[in-house]
Chain A
């Protein structure tokens, strides 16, 4: 299973037949494993990586660090869920270090993000500190370079 997963993690376009050939297993086994992984929530979904900066300037991202008071018995779960339910929120992660939650927000303008932090995140009862980091330029996202890749300099065919 792990071999299949690490192949499709980077190359989601591989067909079950191709994966089967690469790993010396049957096509059916590949298809069944992938299906099972989807059912069990191991495979969470397929997304397309887009460099929106190349499309228009109406895309802003921010990484917001939140300090929150964990609830007795439920820890960070409740507040994390509340934040995750917000439509603008792309990712919520519990982190170690000076802050507790890292929230990734996508919006059209810096203003929108500022308002979201001021009006919706900060006022939450358990939140007692925020730090907003605007994303200026991504260089690599999910393992994919977002800057000009090295050209293939290899020139000899021998």
Chain B
């Protein structure tokens, strides 16, 4: 059988993630120091794990309702209100299999063939493929280092056409660490008010922003909630990646369609994880804060040392990534990462894995111990010094 001709041409045309190729190479090498992963190094706080275990001991091993346990949805609403001044009710919340499922359900519920989706790049790898699978066309907006990789109102205006259906707003941003503060979101909101454009705001890194101001959700900005599908979850802030649990919040008519997709494709999110997540939201604000302060120390260490060795990164204010500028090396992102890996056994991810706009940058994750980061820094410094000769 000629599979490539028989299978869905949309998915056949999608290239496998460029990150995968790097990881496969690195995993065959000894003595590699990896700064590549996209998940916390912390284990899930014990009280959350215990809640999962207790739910199993009590035999809570059945499906939950499609949209998720009511106590969990209540906790989600109270958390979003407490942390981000968002006003959602339990019937505007759906518990999903990670933030990823929320992204998929949102795209499939909102988009139809011929619709356009505006996606700022560099960004997380799944938005484009999911939009195309939903039949839509992706309109990329390449954000700029000089704007700290924020989406600007001008860039957004220039990308909008009569076919624009959805804006993906992936902030705090993987891979750039960029954050949209209230004033930046107000400008975006100004462009969107009065249009029929939806916003999918992927706020999975909302808890991981640094500095005095906390994360602001576009849904909390005047006139935006009615068009916003909010994606969040437990993977990053609560160090729960393997539990596969997230949630989506949206106006009831939107959520009703997403819920049908969820019902057909998933039934309900994992029950054990849902019980654990109730504790994550009700008892773990302090644990989240402690992890954030650890990330912040590492962020400052990395930012200042990278600047010193000639790989400056603008002051990334969110996530656990910095996006280091390697244009001074004279190498492309991929060449840089390959040589760094083969010559010094340090693995970082080329910016181009997140779209062409990432050329000239590499993504460095700091979800690693300070010792680990220091070792990697020493090797990167040797590498940079070697390039100068």
Contact A21 B370 (CB under 8 A): no
Query: In the complex, what residue of chain B is closest to A150 when comparing beta carbons?
Result: B43
Contact A18 B301 (CB under 8 A): yes
* Chain B interface residue number, banded: 20 to 34
Interface string of A1-45 (1 = CB under 8 A from B): 000000100110110011001111000000000000000000000
Determine whether B19 belongs to the interface, using a CB cutoff of 8 Å to chain A: yes
Query: In the complex, what residue of chain A is closest to B43 when comparing beta carbons?
Result: A150
A11 to B375, CA, bound (A): 12
Q: Contacts of A152 on B, CB cut-off 8 Å? A: 34, 37, 41
Q: Contacts of A154 on B, CB cut-off 8 Å? A: 37, 39, 41
Pick from A11, A156, A158: contact of B371, CB under 8 Å: A11
A22 to B27, CA, bound (A): 31
Interface residues in B258-307 (C-beta closer than 8 Å to A): 297, 300-301, 303-305
Interface string of A78-97 (1 = CB under 8 A from B): 00000000000000000000
Determine whether B20 belongs to the interface, using a CB cutoff of 8 Å to chain A: yes
Contact A24 B17 (CB under 8 A): no
Determine whether B124 belongs to the interface, using a CB cutoff of 8 Å to chain A: yes
Determine whether B349 belongs to the interface, using a CB cutoff of 8 Å to chain A: yes
Contact B37 A157 (CB under 8 A): yes
Determine chain A's interface SS by DSSP, over half rule: loop
Determine whether B374 belongs to the interface, using a CB cutoff of 8 Å to chain A: yes
Q: Contacts of B353 on A, CB cut-off 8 Å? A: 157
Contact B300 A158 (CB under 8 A): no
Q: Contacts of A14 on B, CB cut-off 8 Å? A: 301, 370, 374
Known A11-B370, A11-B374, A14-B374: A21·B300 in contact at CB below 8 Å = yes
A11 to B353, CA, bound (A): 33
Q: How far is the CB of A147 from chain B (nearest CB, A)?
A: 17
Interface string of B347-380 (1 = CB under 8 A from A): 0010001000000000000000011001000000
Q: Contacts of A10 on B, CB cut-off 8 Å? A: 370
Determine whether A155 belongs to the interface, using a CB cutoff of 8 Å to chain B: yes
Known A14-B370, A156-B38, A158-B124: A21·B349 in contact at CB below 8 Å = no
Interface string of A124-153 (1 = CB under 8 A from B): 000000000000000000000000000010
Determine whether B125 belongs to the interface, using a CB cutoff of 8 Å to chain A: yes
A158 to B241, CA, bound (A): 12
Determine whether B88 belongs to the interface, using a CB cutoff of 8 Å to chain A: no
- The total of Cβ contacts below 8 Å across the A-B interface reads 56
A24 to B22, CA, bound (A): 35
Q: How many residues of A contact B (CB 8 A)?
A: 17
Q: How far is the CB of A127 from chain B (nearest CB, A)?
A: 42
Query: In the complex, what residue of chain B is closest to A3 when comparing beta carbons?
Result: B297
Known A11-B370, A14-B374: A156·B304 in contact at CB below 8 Å = no
A158 to B20, CA, bound (A): 8
Q: Contacts of A21 on B, CB cut-off 8 Å? A: 300-301, 303-305
Q: Contacts of B22 on A, CB cut-off 8 Å? A: 157
Pick from A11, A22, A24, A157: contact of B38, CB under 8 Å: A157
Q: How far is the CB of A24 from chain B (nearest CB, A)?
A: 7
Known A156-B38, A157-B37, A158-B17: A22·B371 in contact at CB below 8 Å = no
A152 to B126, CA, bound (A): 25
Contact B374 A158 (CB under 8 A): no
Contact A156 B370 (CB under 8 A): no
Q: How far is the CB of A21 from chain B (nearest CB, A)?
A: 3
Q: Contacts of B34 on A, CB cut-off 8 Å? A: 152
Contact A13 B374 (CB under 8 A): yes
| Known pairs A157-B22, A158-B174 / 10 extra A-B pairs, C-beta < 8 Å | A11-B371, A14-B374, A18-B304, A18-B305, A21-B305, A23-B300, A152-B37, A155-B23, A157-B20, A158-B19
A selection of 8 A-B contacts at a CB cut-off of 8 Å is A13-B374, A14-B370, A18-B301, A154-B37, A154-B39, A157-B22, A158-B17, A158-B174
Q: Which residues of B contact A (CB under 8 A)?
A: 17, 19-20, 22-23, 27, 34, 36-39, 41, 124-126, 174, 297, 300-301, 303-305, 349, 353, 370-371, 374
